[in-house]
Amino acid sequence: MKGNETMKKILVLHTGGTISMSKDLEGGVILNEENPLMNQNELFQGEIEIIVEDIFNLPSPHMTLERMLQLKERILQGITEGVDGVVITHGTDTLEETAYFLDLTVPKEITVVVTGAMRSSNEIGSDGLYNFMSAVWTAASEDSKNKGVLVVMNDEIHMAKYVTKTHTTNVATFRTPTFGPIGMLTKGKTFFTKEVMPEEVCDIQAVQGNVFLIKAYAGMDDQIFNLINIEELDGLVIEALGAGNLPPAVLPGLQKILEKGVPVVLVSRCSNGIAEDIYAYEGGGVGLREHGVIFMKGLNGQKARIRLIVGVNTDKSPEDLRYYLES
């Protein structure tokens, strides 16, 4: 450290995923009994103090909302313990959902960085250790403060709100369609190019409710809507066509759900752009909004579902919930 600078204290929470796994003799990627990143303190000796916890050891598809809530509570505890930042290592399949959940529920006063790997720890060209180091440097950077939860992969810094996994195996899989990354790392230093708009934080204590995600397709009718038990439905997210449109045969079943007062959120199934009420034909966005469908701009389906779940677990009125989802 230089001069009298205080050493930053970073809490590292390992949750499992490819970054913690190894390839076996048959070529399958498997869980390790001990995370290979557990004992990497010497990488930051004299500059950053890291406190390491193996909080879970799960493949990414095993992540649940309850586990996300547990991470949120551990981060809040870390704030009381005086940590300066938090790094979470995570499997990439659901990384964006955990990151966004934390972005909506953790105070911005602490920097939280989520990272992972596309190649397991003993594969040629493994990216796990490098991404981990980059995440720690980002969490310790003064420039990272008050930007919400960040996702750091492959030398890029992304907002949790918009980043998504775009490739099944490529190490450059995490991208931010439409908006792009907000910064980068070079030689362990952060360089931000964009500001982050403030986001409401909801300190929820539960993740209850049935919130489903449905994707629209050509020729779709309302069969899948009619199969839903509306009495037990707390929210619905639809990945609509184009700018925000649905086949007309969907409308009768959708209308039954709307008439029950269930919040229905619409996003686009396109990877770029935002959902808008542009078209006035039957099934178009104009009519959908008039019937009470909520247009959520810029989020993909899985992120919209996370936001809706967070929203329904607050004490917001229907009007305030709608504003929260639309804003």
Q: How far apart are CA 174 and CA 210, in angstroms?
A: 28
Burial of 1 (0-12, 13-18, 19+ CB in 10 A): exposed
Annotation marks residue 111 as catalytic: no
Torsion sign over Cα 87, 117, 39, 63: positive
Block residue for tokens 């982050």? 196
Residue 107 pLDDT greater than 80, yes or no? yes
Question: Cα–Cα distance between 248 and 269 in angstroms, integer?
Answer: 17
What pLDDT score does 183 carry? 97
> Is pLDDT of 301 > 70?
yes
Question: Does 22 show up as a binding residue in the annotation?
Answer: no
Could you count the other beta carbons within 10 Å of the beta carbon of residue 19? Answer: 29
What whole-number distance in Å separates Cα of residue 106 and Cα of residue 202?
A: 8
Residue 315, marked binder = no
The pLDDT confidence band at residue 34, using thresholds 50, 70 and 90, is: low
15, 89, 92, 164: the catalytic one is 92
Mind listing the domains of the chain with CATH numbers? Answer: 8-192 (3.40.50.1170), 211-326 (3.40.50.40)
CB-CB contact of 113 with 139 (8 Å): yes
Tell me, what amino acid is at 224?
I
pTM assigned to the model: 0.93
Annotated binding residue at 222? Answer: no
CA quadruple 201, 65, 302, 166: dihedral sign: positive
**CA-CA distances (angstroms) from residue 114 to 88, 308, 315?**
5, 21, 28
Please pick, among 18, 89, 111, 190, the residue that the annotation labels catalytic: 18
Burial 56-93 (b: 16+ CB within 10 A, else e): bbbbbeebebebbbebbeebeebeeeebbbbbbbbbbb
What is the structure's pLDDT at 6? 79
Query: So what's the pLDDT on residue 123?
Result: 81
User: For residue 327, what pLDDT is reported?
Assistant: 87
Q: What confidence tens digit (pLDDT) does each residue in 111-134 have?
A: 999 999 998 877 888 888 999 999
Closest residue by Cα to residue 152 from 124, 178, 125, 133: 133
pLDDT score at 217: 98
18 is catalytic: yes
Distance of CA 219 to the CA centre of its chain: 31
Does position 110 have pLDDT exceeding 90, yes or no? yes
Q: Where are the alpha helices (DSSP H) in the chain?
A: 65-80, 95-105, 128-140, 223-227, 251-259, 285-290, 301-312, 318-326
Cβ-proximal residues to 323 (8 Å cutoff; 6+ apart), any chain: none
